[in-house]
A and B are shown apart, each in its own frame.
Chain A
Amino acid sequence: MNVASQMPVAPAPRAEHREESAKPPFLGFGLGLRAQHYDEILKGNPPIDWFEIISENYMIPGGQPLRILDRIRERYPVVMHGVSLSIASTAPPDFEYLNGLRELARRVEPKWISDHLCWTGVHGKNLHDLLPIPYTREALDHVVNRVQLVQDFLGRALVLENVSTYVRFVNSEMTEWEFLTELSRRSGCWLLFDVNNVYVSAFNHGYDPLTFLEGIPADRVVQFHMAGHSHMGTHIVDTHDHPVCDDVWELYAAALKRFGWVSTIIERDDNIPPLDEILVEVERIREIAHKVLPPRQAG
Chain B
Amino acid sequence: MSDLARQQSDFQRAILTGEDAILAEIPDSPREKREKLFGVYRYAYSSRLVEAMRNDHKLLYIYLGDEMFDAMGHAYVAASPSQHPNLRWFSGSLPEFLKSSEPYSNYPVLSDLAALERALNDAFDAQEAPVLGLADMAGFAPEAWGGLRFRPHPSARRLDLSTNAAAVWLALTGDEEPPDPVRLDEPGRLLVWRKDVKPVFRELGTEEAMMWDEGASGIPFGVLCSMLATYDDPDGAAARGAGYLHGWVTAELLTGVSRD
Asked if B58 is an interface residue, CB under 8 A from chain A, the answer is: no
B8–A90 CB distance below 8 A: yes
Select from chain B the residue with minimum beta-carbon distance to A239.
B44
B197–A60 CB distance below 8 A: no
Asked if B237 is an interface residue, CB under 8 A from chain A, the answer is: no
Contact A62 B7, CB 8 Å, known A122-B12, A166-B38, A166-B40: no
Question: Shortest distance in angstroms between A142's beta carbon and chain B's nearest beta carbon?
Answer: 6
B7–A134 CB distance below 8 A: yes
Binding site for B on A (CB under 8 A): 56-57, 59-67, 84, 86, 89-90, 94, 97, 119-129, 131, 133-134, 136, 138-139, 142, 166-171, 204-206, 234-235, 237
The interface residues of chain A lying within 8 Å CB-to-CB of B48 are: 128-129
A61–B8 CB distance below 8 A: no
A205–B29 CB distance below 8 A: yes
Main secondary structure on A side of the interface with B: loop
9 tightest CB-CB pairs across the interface, nearest first? A84-B85, A206-B30, A90-B5, A63-B125, A62-B128, A61-B127, A64-B197, A234-B32, A60-B125
- How far, in angstroms, from A170 to B34 measured CA to CA in the complex? 12
Select from chain B the residue with minimum beta-carbon distance to A63.
B125
Pick from B2, B37, B128: contact of A90, CB below 8 A: B2
Question: Shortest distance in angstroms between B20's beta carbon and chain A's nearest beta carbon?
Answer: 13
Select from chain A the residue with minimum beta-carbon distance to B45.
A127
Apart from A63-B194, A89-B8, A128-B52: 5 A-B pairs, beta carbons within 8 A = A63-B124, A127-B15, A131-B41, A168-B26, A204-B37
A169–B25 CB distance below 8 A: yes
Within 8 A of A (CB), among B46-104: 48-49, 52, 81-88, 90
The interface residues of chain B lying within 8 Å CB-to-CB of A67 are: 197
Pick from A61, A125, A127, A138: contact of B125, CB below 8 A: A61
Interface residues on B, range: 35 or more
B37–A121 CB distance below 8 A: no
The interface residues of chain B lying within 8 Å CB-to-CB of A63 are: 124-126, 128, 155, 194, 197
- How far, in angstroms, from A90 to B12 measured CA to CA in the complex? 12
- How far, in angstroms, from A62 to B124 measured CA to CA in the complex? 8
Asked if B27 is an interface residue, CB under 8 A from chain A, the answer is: yes
The interface residues of chain B lying within 8 Å CB-to-CB of A120 are: 85
- How far, in angstroms, from A137 to B38 measured CA to CA in the complex? 24
Pick from A56, A66, A131: contact of B11, CB below 8 A: A131
A235–B32 CB distance below 8 A: yes
- How far, in angstroms, from A283 to B146 measured CA to CA in the complex? 65
The interface residues of chain B lying within 8 Å CB-to-CB of A94 are: 85
- How far, in angstroms, from A168 to B27 measured CA to CA in the complex? 7
Over the window 100-142 of chain B, the binary record of Cβ atoms lying under 8 Å from chain A Cβ atoms (1 yes, 0 no) is 0000000000000000000000001111100000000000000
